[in-house]
Amino acid sequence: NLDCQPCMQRTCPLGHHDCMQLIKANAVLKSINQLFSN
């Protein structure tokens, strides 16, 4: 839930990549499970 996402850029325009570095493994797994349960 960052103000800058989703920017859909290959390189971070802000130079920090927080949208990828701060994501937790649990959040990724939860999203994957939701995709496959539908």
- Cβ atoms of residues 14 and 4 within 8 Å: yes
**Three-state DSSP state, 9:** coil
Give mean pLDDT, residues 4-29: 90
Q: What's the mean per-residue pLDDT of the chain?
A: 89
Give the pair of three-digit tokens for residue 35. 């995709």
- Structural domain including 31 reads 1-38
| 3 or 24, which is more confident | 24
- Specify whether the CB–CB gap between 19 and 3 falls below 8 A: no
Burial class (CB in 10 A: 0-12, 13-18, 19+), 1: exposed
pLDDT tier for residue 20 given thresholds of 50, 70 and 90: confident
What distance in Å separates the CA atoms of residue 4 and residue 7, rounded to the nearest whole number?
Answer: 6
Using the predicted structure, report yes or no on whether residue 34 has a pLDDT greater than 90: yes
Number of structural domains (the chain) is 1
